[in-house]
Amino acid sequence: MHLCEMRSLVSGMRMVLAAGVIMMSSSVVAAESSDTGFGPGNPFYAPSALPFQAPPFDRIKDGDYQPAIEAGMAEQRKEIRAIADNPAAPTFENTIVAMEKTGALFQRAYAAFNAVTGANTNPALEKVQQEEAPKLAAHSDAIYLDAKLFRRVAAVYEKRESLKLSPEGLRLVEFYYQRFVHAGANLSDADKEKLKKINEEESTLSNGFRSKVLAATKDAAYFTADKSALAGLTDAEIGGAERAAKQRKKEGWVLALQNTTQQPYLSSLSMRATRQALFEDSWTRAERGDANDTRETIARLAQLRAEKGKLLGFDSYAGWKLEDQMAKTPENALKFMDALVPAATANAASEAKDIQGVIDTQNNGSQNNGSQNGGSQNGGFAVEPWDWEFYSEQVRKAKFDLDEAEVRPYFEMNNVLQHGVFYAANQLYGLTFKERKDIPVWHADVRVYEVMEADGKPLALWYCDYFKRDNKNGGAWMGSLVRQSKLLGTLPVVYNVANLPKPAEGEPALISFSDVITMFHEFGHALHGMFAATEYPVLSGTAVARDFVEFPSQFNEHWATYPAIFHHYAKHYKTGAPMPVELAAKIKKAEDFNQGYKLTELLAAAQLDMQWHSLPVDAPLQKPDEFEKAALEKKGFTLSYVPPRYRSSYFSHIWGGGYAAGYYAYLWAEMLDDDAFQWFQDHGGLTRANGDRLRAMVLSRGNTEDLEKMYEAWLGSAPNIEPMLKYRGLAKTAPK
């Protein structure tokens, strides 16, 4: 499995609530507002005339977003007011469907803003983000805490069974009613005011957290003036480090940090002191006592969220948050996770034994592999977190005889895209792709494709922005610029963003197998967005529960290693020769290695998330380092060499994104995707019939049915955890 964040969720939970009522409607005329300086000169003023209503990024300037977002919110509040004040008795059409048609301007401005601030931000945009965060939260509250509007929604809800609605219409009514209740519509006026204050502060802190982590991650990059410290890196990587230093106007070499605790370069840096320094730069990035230290922010966020959970009638924030998820309660999520911990940590401990074996062998005799400047001395040392990647790479080489450098020439990025990612979508769903150079983008590295059905009909626009930049958030994600809706007559416009290393000018982008998986993963989200075929925008595409949303993406990862796909794209970039079967077999085998570590670091992060968000309202303000240590120990994470995948202080998913009390969702969805892939294996594998069936029954249907029912109808039974245990190498039966 591979981890990403859905950009639509990253923007902050308040916006997820609002996202339901902010879709595009061509019939709405943009509001003119003199006080915000918004008028016809603003590129968001009218719906985009470009194909698929793609945003006109060539005309949008940084200064255009804020007035358009503010005018959009004002316009939507007017529209909502008109619905709430409608003298006619509430009906499905004049209340529920009417809400679906509001907020067109806001949606088009905010979706573009969200894309740009995630992938190509700058201080001016960050300032707008900071200023708008509390206003966006207030905007969402203005809708969902409007008592008059809620009375109309509740009235339609009460008589829903007698309205002879379509199944999707019925789902829409239930969805809105539950959303209102979940957001606090049943609270007293005094409590609503309290909630609004909490939401605004939460939104501001969360946004501040994002900015701090972005800056902290950039500032904490490893720097050295001594080239020999980089022993083990390739010439190209050292060249990249030199360029990174120049960009920062420094003499020397810089290794930029990725958002996770472990850093990719740790697998090849042979000097132990360098590894330790790089690891510590990563681990302490947001705890340096400077302006980017996030500890006070997260302690306050946890406290605020506990208050919010209590106010909304739950024991904790997690209780409130899971109410509308597939897992339903924190207890269910915890039970699921707790059951995985013993096997995961036992496997990690056994991997550590292999690693310690290599350390001892290498340090007990001849040359000690370049670590003489590190802390290794002559007598060897016990494995530490900064050694793990390096020695696990050695074990991988020794045990599986696999060398990452040998593999990369077979994974040229464009080749992987055309003959892997696109090819799989063609084989399963009949899709074809045509690059469009005429669609404006937010950065020169972004590419746009038109996606077509097997019969040539246009389906969607898809953008990819794959290369790492310092002004891009870490990790990879999918987002939406225009959401599909039959009601509004819109086709989907979606994008994938990643942080793949950018090659030097004229050089091919040779990526790691892990990066290949990232591309398949994000494209799986994109398919979920592009296949959307629903009437109502709020139920469309990836607008599903968090513990379901990673299912289509993680499912799509399976095709990366499926032989008929793999051998189609894994070809040498110079010669075009297919990857030798022995090498391919080694990659597949090596994938099983290190699963104990990977699952443990993930579970540890998921537990941290759940512990932070299970705090009762009367708990004191926490000291993050102490809290983290105790939370991990309590849950059985005692292996010092397996730190959590994210430390609390830079855990953007939960403090800056939409995954608060929701990080377990990746694992939950893994149960679903492994189970689903097993179904494909049992039914003939890669066929159009299988792909079309999944598309018709799940991928096109967004949130139009209870997700558990939707999944079970497709599978023919309840989800089963056995395939996950098997693919993770945790079951007694060996993986296929």
Handedness of CA 110, 116, 118, 123 (dihedral sign): negative
Closest CB 531 distance from Zn ion, rounded Å: 16
Q: Which CB sits closer to Zn ion, 330 or 524?
A: 524
Closest CB 140 distance from Zn ion, rounded Å: 24
Q: Which residues contact 76 (CB under 8 A, 6 or more apart)?
A: 21, 22, 102, 103, 105, 106, 139, 143
- Contact residues toward Zn ion (CB under 5 A) are 4, 550, 553
Closest CB 550 distance from Zn ion, rounded Å: 5
Determine the length of the chain.
Answer: 736
Q: Which CB sits closer to Zn ion, 4 or 631?
A: 4
Beta partners for residue 571, in sequence order? 578
Residue 635, both tokens: 């849950």
Q: Which CB sits closer to Zn ion, 268 or 553?
A: 553
Only one residue has tokens 């088009």, namely 108
Residue 435, both tokens: 């690059």
Closest CB 128 distance from Zn ion, rounded Å: 27
Closest CB 4 distance from Zn ion, rounded Å: 3
* CA geometry: angle 694, 498, 231, nearest 5 deg: 130
Q: What amino acid is encoded at 14 in this protein?
A: R
Q: Which CB sits closer to Zn ion, 117 or 553?
A: 553
Q: Which CB sits closer to Zn ion, 301 or 494?
A: 494
Q: Which CB sits closer to Zn ion, 529 or 644?
A: 529
Strand 447-452 versus strand 477-482 pairing type: unpaired
What is the number of other CB atoms lying within 10 angstroms of the CB of residue 341?
17
List alpha helices for 42-187, DSSP H: 62-84, 98-100, 104-119, 123-144, 147-158, 167-183
Q: Which residue is nearest to Zn ion (CB)?
A: 4
Q: Which CB sits closer to Zn ion, 325 or 614?
A: 325
List alpha helices for 475-580, DSSP H: 513-530, 546-557, 563-569
What is the number of other CB atoms lying within 10 angstroms of the CB of residue 613?
25
Task: Say how far apart CA 533 and CA 702 lie, in whole Å.
Answer: 8
Task: Say how far apart CA 187 and CA 311 lie, in whole Å.
Answer: 8
Strand 253-255 versus strand 432-435 pairing type: unpaired
Q: Which CB sits closer to Zn ion, 319 or 474?
A: 474
Residue 568, both tokens: 């189609």
Q: Which residues are catalytic?
A: 522
Task: Say how far apart CA 593 and CA 463 lie, in whole Å.
Answer: 34
Only one residue has tokens 């490893």, namely 222
Closest CB 459 distance from Zn ion, rounded Å: 21
Q: Which residues contact 252 (CB under 8 A, 6 or more apart)?
A: 223, 224, 225, 226, 242, 245
Closest CB 521 distance from Zn ion, rounded Å: 6
Task: Say how far apart CA 194 and CA 184 lie, in whole Å.
Answer: 11
Only one residue has tokens 């002191």, namely 273
